[in-house]
């Protein structure tokens, strides 16, 4: 399970077009695992398996964390973890001039730790995962990513928080919103 913000339909569509162009690029390894357009989201905190008795505690904590006002973000830029020169994860970057994502992530962290969940093992860094590479990238991929670096995907309102259950299948993960809260 994880706490997430889903991406608007227009931004998802723009990201999907980018993914399709990348799939057709000969510098992109054929076994690159691309995120399906319907699954684009921002993970704010990953919880792993949560026992049934703890789900209500988690829902209560997230409901409290959703008490921040909605905010606007812009998705622009392409990057990679750990680095463009050695991509293992390809991501879309976020411009968040209001600091809304940091406030929301902090509220989630505080509320869930207070509710008995483990603290995050690394600081929140807003990004949207587009692909994972489980093998060595082709030599030209870093240049392709660098040329795509300033791609604009659109602006969107962040006006909700979701608790999402992930089920792994042979065809990839299936995400199900267990609860969704409007930001206030």
Q: Give the strand order in the sheet containing 41-46.
A: 41-46, 2-6, 160-169, 172-182
pLDDT above 70 coverage of the chain, percent: 100
Write down the mean pLDDT value for the chain. 96
Cα separation, 183 vs 79, in Å, equals: 28
Per DSSP, what are the bridge partners of residue 33?
132
pLDDT of residue 99: 97
Cα separation, 96 vs 73, in Å, equals: 5
Peptide bond into 32 cis (omega under 30): no
Range of lowest pLDDT (15-19, 42-46, 167-171): 167-171
pLDDT of residue 138: 83
Topology annotation, domain 2-182: Cyclic Phosphodiesterase; Chain: A, (3.90.1140)
Per DSSP, what are the bridge partners of residue 87?
82
Q: Which residues are catalytic?
A: 41, 127
pLDDT 10s digits, 103-149? 999 999 999 999 999 999 999 999 999 999 987 778 899 999 999 99
Confidence of residue 88 (pLDDT cuts 50, 70, 90): very high
**Domain coordinates in residue numbering, the chain:** 2-182
pLDDT of residue 137: 76
This prediction has a pTM of 0.93
């Amino acid at each position: 399970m994880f706490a997430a913000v889903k991406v608007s339909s227009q931004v998802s569509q723009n990201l999907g077009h980018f993914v399709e162009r990348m799939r057709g690029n000969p510098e992109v390894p054929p076994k690159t695992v691309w995120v399906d357009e319907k699954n684009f989201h921002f993970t704010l905190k990953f919880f792993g398996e949560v026992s049934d008795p703890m789900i209500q505690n988690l829902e209560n904590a997230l409901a409290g964390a959703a008490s921040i006002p909605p905010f606007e973000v812009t998705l622009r830029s392409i990057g990679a973890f750990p680095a463009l020169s050695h991509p293992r994860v390809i991501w879309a970057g976020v411009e968040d001039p209001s600091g809304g994502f940091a406030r929301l992530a902090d509220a989630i962290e505080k509320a869930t730790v207070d509710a008995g969940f483990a603290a995050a093992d690394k600081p929140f860094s807003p990004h949207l995962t587009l692909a994972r590479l489980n093998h060595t990238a082709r030599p030209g991929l870093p240049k392709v990513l660098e040329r795509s670096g300033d791609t604009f995907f659109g602006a969107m309102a962040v006006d909700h928080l979701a608790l999402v259950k992930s089920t792994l299948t042979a065809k990839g993960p299936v995400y199900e919103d267990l609860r969704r809260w409007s930001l206030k």
